Amino acid sequence: MKELALLSLLEKNARMEVKDLAMALQESEENVLNTMSDLEKRKVICGYHTMINYDHLNKDDVMALIQINATPEREYGYDRVAANIYKFPEVDTMYLLSGAYEFLVIIKGKTMQDVANFVASKLAIIESVTGTSTYFVLKQYKNNGVAFVADEDPNDRLVVTP
């Protein structure tokens, strides 16, 4: 079973039907289902989410990127302090980075005040966190490989060509 090919199809369209996946991969539907559930168990597939551009709903939700400086702990390195941060449901995405600061966290909240409160009352007070810088997102141009600002017409081809 070509796992990478299966993943490439699902990554583009998580709603693709098992029957269609089986045809594209030249496998039985049963094999596709088994492989998918195996990939789920191994946490290779971590979900089948929908990519939503909330900008189009005129909602006032805000998103912020927060750089966090932190000191590592004996035995645990950065992992325990990271867990103290990512377990907050406000945290959407979190990375450990090389460079000038340790973590990059993406926060989603209802208002700027929500995010500010979260940083002040939850993040900054964690013992190993030594500093934060917060950047509010003004506009999303692209997310997960999809451009949110569509300026190209993919249907520009002639209908019949040699």
Partner 1 sequence: MYEEYLSQKVKEIKPSGIRKFFDLASQMEGVISLGVGEPDFATPWKIREAAIYSIEKGKTFYTANQGLLELREEICKYQKRRFNLDYDPIKNTIVTVGGSEGIDIALRALVNPGDEVILLDPSYVAYMPGVQLAGAVPVTITLTQENQFKLTPELLEAAITDKTKLLLLNFPNNPTGGFMTKEDYEKIVPIIKQHDLLVITDEIYAELSYDEKFCSIASFDEIKDHVILISGYSKAYAMTGWRLGYVLAHETFIKAMNKIHQFVIMSAPTAAQYGAIEAMRHCDSEIESMQQSYMLRRNYIVEGFNNLGLETFMPQGAFYIFPCIKSTGMTSEEFCEALLNDQKVACVPGTAFGDAGEGFIRVSYAYSIDQIKEALGRIELFLNKIRK
Binding site residues, partner 1, CB under 8 A: 5, 8-9, 13, 16, 20, 23-26, 152, 154, 157-162
Q: Write the CA distances from 151 to 51, 52, 53, 142, integer angstroms.
A: 19, 18, 16, 12
Q: Which is nearer to partner 1, 21 or 82 (CB)?
A: 21
Q: Which is nearer to partner 1, 8 or 133 (CB)?
A: 8
Contacts of 115 (CB under 8 A, 6+ apart): 62, 64, 90, 107, 109, 134, 136
The 10 Å CB-count burial string (b at 16+, else e) for 24-47 is ebebeeebbeebbeebeeeeebee
CB of 144 to partner 1, least distance (A): 16
Q: Which is nearer to partner 1, 75 or 156 (CB)?
A: 156
CB of 38 to partner 1, least distance (A): 20
CB of 151 to partner 1, least distance (A): 11
Q: Which is nearer to partner 1, 19 or 87 (CB)?
A: 19
Q: How far apart are CA 131 and CA 123, in angstroms?
A: 9
Torsion angle defined by CA atoms of residues 108, 114, 115 and 117, in that order, rounded to the nearest 10 degrees: -150
Q: How far apart are CA 64 and CA 91, in angstroms?
A: 10
Q: Which is nearer to partner 1, 99 or 154 (CB)?
A: 154
CB of 33 to partner 1, least distance (A): 17
CB of 159 to partner 1, least distance (A): 4
